[in-house]
Amino acid sequence: MHGMPVPRPDPPTAVRYFEHSTEHLAPHERREYWRDTMLNRSDANFSADATRHNFSASAHGYVGSAAELRYGTLDVGVLRRDAARCRRDGGDEILLTALISAGDRVRYLDDGGELSVPAGKFLLTDMAVPFALEIGRFPSINFRLPRTSVIRAVGEFPKRQSGRLLPAAPLSSLLFEQMVRYAEAMPAMDDAAREVAMDATADFALAVLRMETRNAAWHDESVWPGLWAAARRFIARHLDRADLNPDIVARALHCSRSQLYRLFARHGTTVMDHIREARLRRSRDMLADPACRLPIAEVASLCGMDDPSAFSRAFRQRFGCSPVDVRRQARQVSP
């Protein structure tokens, strides 16, 4: 077998129902085979474990008239689409990807930063936008919709929606359950049943996208000034939360973390730098108020900084004096 070429099936786009497995291949041929079939729309870099050990993978799916579904287990490392790749193949698809389970962090990265992708939530990806996806050996669903179908359903699809997690709303959760059940039942169906189920799933997915894009506060750049004001207001109201971070702010504003990064970058800062500056300014204002009798450690805690030593260092670095100096000066000038 090692001396003979291994017959390779056509790529999934040439068939309706397909099943792929590396089990019939020699170990040294498996990664290339998987690149040519299931990973043929991205550039794949395999993980160190997949290189050192016996790589194996399997998947099945269906190419329907309305969409395409792939269901299987990735064991890759990094999937990447750079600008040249996007130009070369046109990027005419919008993807909904959902991890069935994940034992470690999965990350989506683009020019706006990175986004952690949990199991059970849909990641929205525009194949015309460069990105990288760091992923381990996790089962996942990949649902591909033609761009033309998405545009008909929701209007022009802005590139800035790529790299966004759909909210864990009841409708999105139902769509996730439907896709998983459809994928699991698919091998036992005939093509007529698969096509009916695919059409229904595609209609459902487009309806969810239509609702989510209409509800997204950041859908139109004309509302970005209001979104900026809302972000600063939310941060100001929750400075006492020591766990305040970009994920919490993004969820509150119903936008992706990468979109939030872009919003703050437009104003020459980052989310965490803004939070840190707001905390230090509020603590200085409190300490400079002669009426404030709270211990310095409590002032720091009310501003989301629970480590007194770290607070003092950051305060001195920012203002050139210690919290004690500010309080002492305030009490000296008070009547």
**Interval 121-136: pLDDT, tens:** 898 899 998 999 887 7
CATH 2.60.120.10 fits 12-215, yes or no: yes
Is a pLDDT exceeding 70 seen at residue 26? yes
8 A C-beta contact, residue 304 and residue 237? no
Tokens found for residue 209: 């996208």
Is a pLDDT exceeding 80 seen at residue 256? no
Q: Where are the domains of the chain?
A: 12-215, 221-333
- The pTM assigned to this predicted structure is 0.61
Is a pLDDT exceeding 50 seen at residue 192? yes
8 A C-beta contact, residue 114 and residue 258? yes
Range 106-124 average pLDDT: 82
In the prediction, which pLDDT does 47 show?
Answer: 66
DSSP per-residue codes, 263-325 = HHHTTTS-HHHHHHHHHHHHHHHHHT-TT--S-HHHHHHHTT---HHHHHHHHHHHHSS-HHH
In the prediction, which pLDDT does 23 show?
Answer: 87
147-172: per-residue pLDDT in tens? 999 888 887 666 667 888 887 777 78
Is a pLDDT exceeding 50 seen at residue 4? no
In the prediction, which pLDDT does 218 show?
Answer: 46
Is a pLDDT exceeding 60 seen at residue 49? no
Of these ranges, 22-26, 170-174, 307-311, the one predicted with the greatest mean pLDDT is: 307-311
The chain-wide mean pLDDT, for the chain, equals: 83
For 134, the enclosing helix (H) or strand (E) is strand 131-135
CATH for the 221-333 domain, from 1.10.3720.10, 3.30.450.40, 1.25.40.20, 1.10.10.60: 1.10.10.60
User: How sure is the predictor about 17, in pLDDT bands with cuts at 50, 70 and 90?
Assistant: very high
| Eight-class DSSP state of 1 | -
81-97: per-residue pLDDT in tens? 998 888 888 888 999 99
